[in-house]
Amino acid sequence: MKLEDIRREYLAGGLRRNNLQDDPLQQFEQWMQQAIAAGVPDPTAFTLATVSAEGKPSQRIVLLKHLDERGFVFFTNYSSKKAQEIEQNAQVCLHFPWQMMERQVEIEGLAKRISTAESLKYFISRPRDSQVAAWASHQSHRISSRKALMMQFSSIKDKFAKGEVPLPDFWGGYRIEPQCFEFWQGGGSRLHDRFQYSLLSNGAWQIERLAP
Ligand SMILES: Cc1cc2nc3c(=O)[nH]c(=O)nc-3n(C[C@H](O)[C@H](O)[C@H](O)COP(=O)(O)O)c2cc1C
């Protein structure tokens, strides 16, 4: 089949200004709960875009683990490529796809490391093998083979066989403080609905409709 012949209409539903929450976080939470209820696969997975000091963008999927009025939290290795880029340029962009609902949400914001206490709280809730894996993987660095990784994993497992696996000092969370949101809902004949929330200097959110 030709790629250019793959197309469908987006008819799931429209988005109107008077149905939107004034607070974008409340709007996001409502959509997240609807995505979970609709059975969207990996509803908490989002694409995180970072930009290097030289202006080169890169992206990868991570999982949203916590959300409150302060922002969006995910966990990772602090020496990974994404973390190195964030340390040099905290401006990031998040993208939740939710195509099953003919929706997407884009969020721009500033990424900041969360406290060790907050990272520890999440780390101890993870399965033990995931805790060991955090120690065993120097994420984004070159390795010689899968075998070398598995050997590292079992040696760390033996090392921490007794007692709890400690939180690695190179592993933890980032919180993205949002500055701009866009909520997108597909519409018929490519006349989609898009609403942008921009954070004003007085802390209020300005809501504007964008052309599809
Ligand atoms: C569904 C899914 C969820 C993922 N969740 C995370 C995550 O929460 N944290 C993380 O560091 N990597 C996660 N990854 C792996 C990342 O996409 C990426 O490969 C890794 O973090 C290294 O990225 P970097 O080299 O750009 O830093 C996930 C991948 C997928 C496909």
What does the domain layout of the chain look like in residue ranges?
Answer: 3-124+168-210, 126-166
At residue 42, does pLDDT exceed 90?
A: yes
What are 121-164's pLDDT values in tens digits?
Answer: 999 999 999 999 999 999 999 999 999 999 999 999 999 999 99
Task: Using the Cα atoms of residue 2, residue 61, residue 107 and residue 98 in order, give the sign of their dihedral.
Answer: positive
Which ligand 1 atom is at minimum distance from the Cα of 50? 26
- Per-residue pLDDT at 174 exceeds 90: yes
Catalytic one among 16, 17, 190, 209?
A: 190
pLDDT of residue 12: 87
The pLDDT assigned to 13 comes to 86
Distance CA 192, CA 119 (A): 39
Mean pLDDT, to the nearest integer, of 48-62? 97
Query: What confidence score (pLDDT) does residue 113 get?
Result: 98
Question: What is the rounded average pLDDT for all residues in the chain?
Answer: 97
Helix axes 128-136, 146-159, angle to 10 degrees: 120
Give the pLDDT confidence of 2-22 residue by residue, as tens digits.
999 999 999 888 999 999 999
Of ligand 1's atoms, which has the minimum distance to the CA of residue 61?
17
> Is the pLDDT score of 28 beyond 90?
yes
Of the candidate ranges 11-15, 65-69, 157-161, 200-204, the one whose mean pLDDT is the lowest: 11-15
pTM beyond 0.95: the answer is: yes
Among 62, 170, 172, 164, smallest CA distance to 117 is for 172
User: 211 - beta bridge partners?
Assistant: none
Residue 24: is its pLDDT beyond 90?
yes
Please, which pLDDT band fits residue 59 given cuts at 50, 70 and 90? very high
Distance 48 CA to ligand 1 centre (A): 9
User: Which of 124, 105, 112, 90 lies closest to 44 in space, CA to CA?
Assistant: 105
Q: Whose CA is nearest to atom 31 of ligand 1?
A: 61
Q: Determine whether domain 3-124+168-210 maps to CATH 2.30.110.10.
A: yes
Residues 6+ apart with CB under 8 A from 70: 175, 177
Ligand 1 lining (C-beta closer than 6 Å)? 42, 45, 58, 60-63, 74-76, 80-82, 139-140
190 in catalytic set:
yes
For ligand 1, the distance from its centroid to the CA atom of residue 62, given in whole angstroms, is 5
